[in-house]
Amino acid sequence: MEGALALVATVISGAFLVPQLRRLRRTQDGGGVSLTAAGVGLVSTVAWATYGFGTESLALVAPSLIGAAQYAALVWLLRSTGHTSPLSVVAALLVIAVSGSASAIAGHGPWAGIGTALTIAVVVQYTPAVLDARRSETVSGISQSTWLLIGVNGSTWASYGLLVGDDAVAAYGVVLGVAAGAVLLAARRASVSEAVRTAVGS
């Protein structure tokens, strides 16, 4: 069962950002897409691969490396649309590093420290994505297909984490699912509001 879930997660990890990347490349419209989330995602996926090697959870390695490559492409495309690198990326990474170091120093060991950091990292990563989707005047740059895949990926990793007893992986999956739902809801609301404004103005 664990192997099947890991395989499904690997397949989804190879595809979840593809719709967003294709949309950005085609339209050059990054409206509602968070550069902070993309930057933290790049760093955290590399960290997940390291965690997988260190804890011998090799099922985490391939999807993490695939995700890292996609996040790198997303950062590059967002920069090309005029997004600037906010200081919030640096602040977010500092929070993650400090939390992981604190866990390791508390005597839980280095891999437990990385696990704690990654649990916090996923919250730090996806919070800006949700906030940007809710606050932006337009969400025209958001690919809803990507967020649907993120939601499915989250449920897969949550199930895998529970089965193998890895709290960090389970928490990662839960946060992905919640974030995906929130972004899709924000995108839906924005689309309805835009349709209403168009109807009223016509």
Over residues 122-166, the pLDDT tens digits come to: 777 788 788 888 877 777 788 888 889 989 988 988 898 888 888
Q: Structural domain boundaries of the chain?
A: 2-201
Count CB atoms within 10 A of the CB of residue 185.
14
CA 100 to centroid of chain Cα atoms: 19
118, 44 Cβ separation under 8 angstroms: yes
Mean pLDDT of the chain, nearest integer: 76
- Tell me which residue of 148, 144, 143 sits closest to 22, measured CA to CA: 143
The pTM score is 0.69
Split at pLDDT 50, 70, 90, the class of 180 is very high
Confidence at residue 107, expressed as pLDDT on a 0 to 100 scale: 47
In sequence order, the 6+-apart residues with CB closer than 8 A to the CB of 7 are none
90, 54 Cβ separation under 8 angstroms: no
Q: What is the pLDDT of residues 81-113, one digit of tens each?
A: 876 655 555 555 555 555 554 544 444 555 555
